[in-house]
């Protein structure tokens, strides 16, 4: 059934989905803003670049714990309740981040900012799967488009409040030798990023109120018809061995772990890399290149919304992976020496990652049943990637920024390897099912 027909047939589901889409704009804002303001947060707590970049994987560890806890929460509470609780918690904690003046305090705040975000991400995707079942691919593309919109806007909001790099100050303007010199440092009192965090917290409050209103309008929603029919749900699963299902889950989880780790690495540590590499971007330009990444991530995903039903999820994944692989031809040899190569590579990665998550879910649904338990495992693995990959890159951000480029290549190649294994398993499963059906028909005759 076409997407428009699905929307006409299930208007209430679409209304709830719209409230979720608004919430994911806030999630995108919340994920991207710390990366865009990382160098100013370094001033706030008076630490080194290596120490401040650890805040990203620490937030991701909170994200991981939140996704893990959510796998138990959804068994006890309605997913909508989990979403509402995570929205208000994220709104409050995000507003507190720029007010920390100790490194430990910032780490703790980042962890607890990531915790409700992990719940929101996991419960939101599970809830959307509940609402649309096998019709989910276009809707999950919209969901991640809205997430990308939030992540695109966040660096633009931050850019207005970032302090300029002191090495970029034109000291020829000063005639008084007692004025600020290049060796002087900013103090936390000079910071203005608290206004950026206040803006996204206000939007978080708006998303919270919107979801509450829609929830009060109609609290309960039955699963989509494609998920209600038990015989349809278990038709393929019954025909596949447990080891086959585990292998599918393993390689899908590893692929998404690498993909989301790569996405978060670009979305949060690209500004730091741009400033620290040989190109020596200023903070403003670093914010703009991060916005370009999120712009291509968001708007190419919107185009995919219209073509995914024509190409199919498998072909979309192939195109995405080819784009990500192509980015390495610009990034690895020239990403720290030629500015246009860095911009080109960033655009290609943004295009390639824009629709991969939703397409993988559509691809998996074409030959296996994604249960709530499987979805929870996938989201936990995704959060693990968001923890490990930024941690590795952040550790070398100040001393060896080129590690950013090497990790991009490694993630690209391993993602392709996992997808090839999944394609082989898909056709193996299909052949097995066709063989069983042929045997069943021969028995009947």
CA-to-CA distance for 289 and 403, rounded, in angstroms?
19
CA-to-CA distance for 416 and 356, rounded, in angstroms?
12
The answer to whether residue 48 is domain-embedded is yes
pLDDT score for 177: 40
DSSP 8-state code for residue 164: P
pLDDT score for 71: 83
Give me the count of residues in the chain: 445
Angle, helix 55-76 to helix 103-132, in steps of 10 degrees: 40
pLDDT at 120 > cutoff 80: yes
Show the domain range for 367.
16-165+187-218+230-435
> CB-side exposure of 151: number of CA atoms within 13 Å?
31
Smallest CA-to-CA distance from 385 within 44, 151, 94, 121 is with 121
Smallest CA-to-CA distance from 408 within 258, 298, 288 is with 258
Q: How distant is the alpha carbon of residue 106 from its chain centre? A: 22
The pLDDT of 306-332, averaged and rounded, is 85
Q: By three-state DSSP, how is residue 100 classified?
A: coil
Smallest CA-to-CA distance from 254 within 345, 369, 377, 157 is with 377
CATH number for position 267? 1.20.1250.20
For the stretch 275-300, pLDDT in tens is 999 999 988 899 899 999 988 888 77
pLDDT at 69 > cutoff 70: yes
For the stretch 129-146, pLDDT in tens is 888 877 777 788 788 889
CA-to-CA distance for 70 and 76, rounded, in angstroms?
10
For the stretch 44-53, pLDDT in tens is 999 988 899 9
pLDDT score for 440: 54
If one counts the domains in the chain, the total is 1
Concatenating the DSSP letter of every residue in 144-162 gives HHHHHHHHHHHHHHHHTTP
Identify the band that residue 323 occupies on the pLDDT scale cut at 50, 70 and 90: very high
Concatenating the DSSP letter of every residue in 374-410 gives HHHHHHHHHHHHHHHHHHHHHHTTTT-TTHHHHHHHH
Angle, helix 55-76 to helix 372-395, in steps of 10 degrees: 170
Question: ∠ CA 47-117-285 to the nearest 5 degrees?
Answer: 50
pLDDT at 103 > cutoff 50: yes
CA-to-CA distance for 44 and 100, rounded, in angstroms?
7
Structure tokens at 52: 């401040």
In this structure, are residues 145 and 305 in contact, taking their beta carbons and an 8 Å threshold?
yes
The answer to whether residue 223 is domain-embedded is no
The answer to whether residue 78 is domain-embedded is yes
CA-to-CA distance for 342 and 329, rounded, in angstroms?
10
The answer to whether residue 112 is domain-embedded is yes
Concatenating the DSSP letter of every residue in 216-258 gives HH----PPPHHHH-HHHHHHHHHHS-HHHHHHHHHHHHHHHHH
pLDDT score for 171: 43
Identify the band that residue 301 occupies on the pLDDT scale cut at 50, 70 and 90: low
The answer to whether residue 1 is domain-embedded is no
pLDDT score for 305: 56
Q: Label residues 129-146 b or e (16+ Cβ within 10 Å = b).
A: bbbbbbbbbbbbbbbbbb
- pLDDT greater at residue 340 or residue 312: 340
The pLDDT of 394-400, averaged and rounded, is 87
pLDDT at 104 > cutoff 70: yes
CA distances from 275 to 39, 64, 269, 396 (A): 9, 28, 10, 14
The answer to whether residue 225 is domain-embedded is no
Identify the band that residue 443 occupies on the pLDDT scale cut at 50, 70 and 90: low
pLDDT score for 387: 83
Identify the band that residue 316 occupies on the pLDDT scale cut at 50, 70 and 90: confident
Structure tokens at 390: 């930024």
pLDDT at 226 > cutoff 90: no
For the stretch 72-93, pLDDT in tens is 888 888 889 999 999 999 999 9
- Comparing 213-227, 244-258, 384-398, the range with the smallest average pLDDT is 213-227
pLDDT score for 20: 94
Q: By three-state DSSP, how is residue 82 classified?
A: helix
pLDDT score for 198: 96
Identify the band that residue 170 occupies on the pLDDT scale cut at 50, 70 and 90: very low
pLDDT at 184 > cutoff 80: no
In this structure, are residues 271 and 37 in contact, taking their beta carbons and an 8 Å threshold?
no
For the stretch 324-377, pLDDT in tens is 999 999 999 999 999 999 999 999 999 888 878 778 877 887 777 777 778 778
The answer to whether residue 47 is domain-embedded is yes
Share of the chain above pLDDT 90, in %: 43
The answer to whether residue 179 is domain-embedded is no
Q: Label residues 299-310 b or e (16+ Cβ within 10 Å = b).
A: bbbbebbeebee
Structure tokens at 169: 């100050």
CA-to-CA distance for 90 and 98, rounded, in angstroms?
14
Smallest CA-to-CA distance from 29 within 352, 298, 213, 357 is with 298
Identify the band that residue 179 occupies on the pLDDT scale cut at 50, 70 and 90: very low
pLDDT at 172 > cutoff 70: no
- Comparing 176-180, 217-221, 237-241, the range with the smallest average pLDDT is 176-180
> In angstroms, what is the C-alpha Rg of the chain?
23
Q: Average pLDDT of the chain?
A: 84
- Comparing 4-8, 33-37, 121-125, the range with the smallest average pLDDT is 4-8
CA distances from 215 to 12, 23, 227, 235 (A): 11, 13, 21, 33
pLDDT at 192 > cutoff 90: yes
In this structure, are residues 70 and 57 in contact, taking their beta carbons and an 8 Å threshold?
no
pTM summary value: 0.79
């Amino acid at each position: 059934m076409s997407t428009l027909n699905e929307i006409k047939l299930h208007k209430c589901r679409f209304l709830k989905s719209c409230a979720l889409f608004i919430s994911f704009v806030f999630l995108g804002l919340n994920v991207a803003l710390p990366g865009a303001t990382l160098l100013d947060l370094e001033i706030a707590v008076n630490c080194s670049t290596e120490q401040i970049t650890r805040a990203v994987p620490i937030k991701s560890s909170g994200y991981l714990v939140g996704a893990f806890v959510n796998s138990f929460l959804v068994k006890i509470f309605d997913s909508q309740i989990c979403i509402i609780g995570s929205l208000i918690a994220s709104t409050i904690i995000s507003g507190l981040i720029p007010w920390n003046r100790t490194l430990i305090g910032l780490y703790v705040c980042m962890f607890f900012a990531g915790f409700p975000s992990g719940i929101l991400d996991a419960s939101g995707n599970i809830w959307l799967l509940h609402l649309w079942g096998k019709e989910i691919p276009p809707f999950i593309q919209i969901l991640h488009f809205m997430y990308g919109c939030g992540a695109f806007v966040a660096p633009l909001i931050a850019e207005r409040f970032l302090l300029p790099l002191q090495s970029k100050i034109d000291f020829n303007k000063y005639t008084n030798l007692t004025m600020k010199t290049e060796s002087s440092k900013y103090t936390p009192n000079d910071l203005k990023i608290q206004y950026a965090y206040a803006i996204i917290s206000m939007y978080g409050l708006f998303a919270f109120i919107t979801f509450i209103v829609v929830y009060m309008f109609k609290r309960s929603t039955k699963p989509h018809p494609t998920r209600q029919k038990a015989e349809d749900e278990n038709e393929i699963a019954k025909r596949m061995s447990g080891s086959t299902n585990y292998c599918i889950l393993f390689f899908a989880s590893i692929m998404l772990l690498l993909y989301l780790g790569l996405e978060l690495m670009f979305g949060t540590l690209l500004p730091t890399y741009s400033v620290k590499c040989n190109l020596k971007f200023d903070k403003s330009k670093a914010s703009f290149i991060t916005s370009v990444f999120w712009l291509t991530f968001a708007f190419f995903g919107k185009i995919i919304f219209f073509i995914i039903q024509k190409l199919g999820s498998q072909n979309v994944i192939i195109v995405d992976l080819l784009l990500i692989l192509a980015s390495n031809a610009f990034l690895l040899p020239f990403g720290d020496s030629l500015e246009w190569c860095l911009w080109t590579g960033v655009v290609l990665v943004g295009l390639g990652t824009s629709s991969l998550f939703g397409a993988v879910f559509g691809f998996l649904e074409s030959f296996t049943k994604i249960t709530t338990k499987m979805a929870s495992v996938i989201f936990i693995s995704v959060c693990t990637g968001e923890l490990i990959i930024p941690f590795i890159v952040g550790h070398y951000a100040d001393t060896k920024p080129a590690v950013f480029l090497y990790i991009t290549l490694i993630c690209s190649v391993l993602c392709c390897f996992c997808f090839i294994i999944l394609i082989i398993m898909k056709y193996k499963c299909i052949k097995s099912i066709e063989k069983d059906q042929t045997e069943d028909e021969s028995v009947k005759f």
